[in-house]
Amino acid sequence: MMESFPHHSADEIQPIHGTSSVLTGVFPRNAGMGAGKDAFAELLARIEERTARVGIIGLGYVGLPLAQTFSRNGFPVLGFDVDAAKVDQLNQGKSYIGHISDNSICNMRSNGFEATNQFERLQEVDAVLICVPTPLTETRDPDLSFVLNSVEAIAAHPRHGRLVVLESTTYPGTTREAVLPILERNGLRVGQDFFLAFSPEREDPGNPSFSAPNIPKVVGGIEPRSLELAAQLYSRGMTKVVRVSSPEVAEACKILENTYRAVNIALVNELKILYDRMGINIWEVIEAAKTKPFGFQAFYPGPGLGGHCIPIDPFYLTWVARKYGLSTRFIELAGEINTAMPAYVVERIGDALNARGKAIRGSKITLLGMAYKKDVDDSRESPGLELLTLLLRKGAIVHYNDPHIPRLPRTRRHPYLDMTSQELTPEYLQTRDCVVIVTDHSAYDWEQIVRYAPLIVDTRNATRDVRDEEKRVIRA
């Protein structure tokens, strides 16, 4: 779940303010702990006293909750982001993430939190946590430019004895093979001059039960002292720290978690298509299977995968597997199935309209929910964006509604989208040829939607409890 650098292709990315590919090679006299002292012991003491200043690069859906966690636990926090507008909002006590309130930001500010886009201030922090995007290129190869730009900035503004932790999801080997060499330039030594670890983010925006403080934190250090410092730092913000033997194990752990979900979602998506042709309700099948107290975990079908993790992370593993001469056929097949789901939904929309004597071209279609998951304001990689694109290409007149996303953000894959959310009045619903349920936000009144919309294509089983829904609802 990496953020919050602008989404650009690798050849569009410029170095972060103040970075350079040529490092200074020396620690300035005012760069914190003295080079002649035991850097490990000094930083450990600062962590124990909560006087260590924590820097966080990337103040998005991962970095901002992390900053909030450390701020609440008494650490001075300095947040870094290239987006000057976000920096200004935070310094004014305002939030741009739905599940973090303005009051929370004001409390952070009272505790000493500050945001900046001046990366030379990295010299002020004792520990720096990297929470930036790791997207895919157009050819589905890893794009590490955000991570590498961040590391270049850290290396260009050195501080003796600093802890660096990469949280951005990536392939096993990134911390050791890509990050470490940049920090070791000019003879700097890991475990003595600086410390390095990997700890994968596990944020789940919109989940009321789990947030940064109470999600177990996996940590793997390049060497034992790096592991100890990272574990001690996180233990003062999180309820549980899980130490593993290396960064590679921690990196592989995160990829496994999201690949597990992607493969199982692909399975139920494929079964949805099969059971639909057989006249069987896949959601009823899953509810029945859930009654088994062992050997089964419920996953649910949908219009496609969205978000910053599941659609992307497994392809990092397929990429690195090719370097070792292996083909991860299971993962790639799951990716094919999940990627094809928006096209399947469009096919179902076409069938539903055709049964009523209409074509997709010229039909007025409204998509409900453009966020990638329920009750969040995050549209990254949302299947709704792909559905919207496919329907526009087929000549439909497409609107959307999302109570959490009043205006669609432009992305590098969808730079042409410039839409605002439509109000769902009874009069508006009656004018639609088809309403498509993409994301089942809690704010929606399903009974009203079913009552007034002439035709509904439901990809989430959201209308299951509405009486008489079978008269105008098509599941897809």
How many domains are contained in the chain? 2
pLDDT higher than 90, residue 398: yes
Instruction: Point out the catalytic residue in the list 106, 131, 253, 309.
Output: 309
Residue 241 shares a structural domain with residue 284:
no
Task: Give me the CATH number covering residue 120.
Answer: 3.40.50.720
Q: Whats the size of the chain, residue-wise?
A: 476
In a domain, 2, yes or no: no
- Within-domain flag for 252: no
430 shares a domain with 380: yes
Residue 4 belongs to some domain of the structure: no
DSSP assignment string, 24-80: --S--TTSBS-TTS-HHHHHHHHHHHT-SPEEEE--STTHHHHHHHHHHTT--EEEE
Which pLDDT band, with edges at 50, 70 and 90, does 79 fall under?
very high
Question: Do the bridges between strand 241-244 and strand 364-368 make them parallel or antiparallel, or are there none, so unpaired?
Answer: unpaired
* pLDDT per residue as tens digits for the range 316-375: 888 888 888 998 888 889 988 999 999 999 999 999 999 999 999 999 999 999 999 999
Q: Model-level pTM?
A: 0.86
Residue 443 lies in a domain: yes
Q: Are 92 and 114 in contact (CB under 8 A)?
A: no
Q: Are residues 155 and 284 in the same domain?
A: no
Do 430 and 285 lie in a common domain? yes
* Through-space distance between the first and last CA atoms of the chain, rounded to whole angstroms: 28
Residue 233 in any domain: the answer is yes
CA distances from 275 to 279, 282, 283 (A): 6, 6, 10
Q: Return mean pLDDT, the chain.
A: 89
Are 240 and 270 in the same domain?
no
User: Rounded to whole angstroms, how far apart are CA atoms 52 and 46?
Assistant: 5
Model pLDDT for residues 32-67, shown as the tens digit of each residue = 444 446 999 999 999 999 999 999 999 998 999 999
183 within domain boundaries: yes
Distance CA(145)–CA(122), nearest Å, equals 19
Distance CA 198, CA 254 (A): 11
| CB contact set of 206 (below 8 Å; sequence gap of 6+) | 98, 99, 373, 374, 375, 376
Categorize the per-residue pLDDT at 458 as very low, low, confident or very high, splitting at 50, 70 and 90: very high
- Do 195 and 120 belong together in one domain? yes
Residue 423 forms part of a structural domain: yes
Q: What is the pLDDT of residue 411?
A: 72
Domain shared by 35 and 149, yes or no: yes
Alpha helices in 140-281 (DSSP H): 145-156, 174, 180-183, 224-235, 247-278
210 and 355 belong to one structural domain: no
| 199: nearest Cα among 162, 239, 242 | 242
227 and 180 together in one domain? yes
Residues 222 and 293 occupy one common structural domain: no
pLDDT tier for residue 286 given thresholds of 50, 70 and 90: very high
On the question of pLDDT at 292 being above 80, the answer is yes
Q: Are residues 46 and 101 in the same domain?
A: yes
* 104 CA to centre of own chain: 21
Residue 3 belongs to some domain of the structure: no
Residue 315 structural domain: 261-475
Closest by CA to 30, choosing from 159, 118, 193, 155, is 159
What 356-362 contacts at long range (C-beta under 8 Å, 24+ apart), as own/partner pairs, is: 356/455, 358/433, 360/391, 360/394, 360/395, 360/396, 361/394, 361/395, 361/396, 362/395, 362/396, 362/397
Note if 106 is an active site residue: no
Q: Which of 184, 210, 245 is the last residue of a domain?
A: 245
Q: Are residues 229 and 356 in the same domain?
A: no
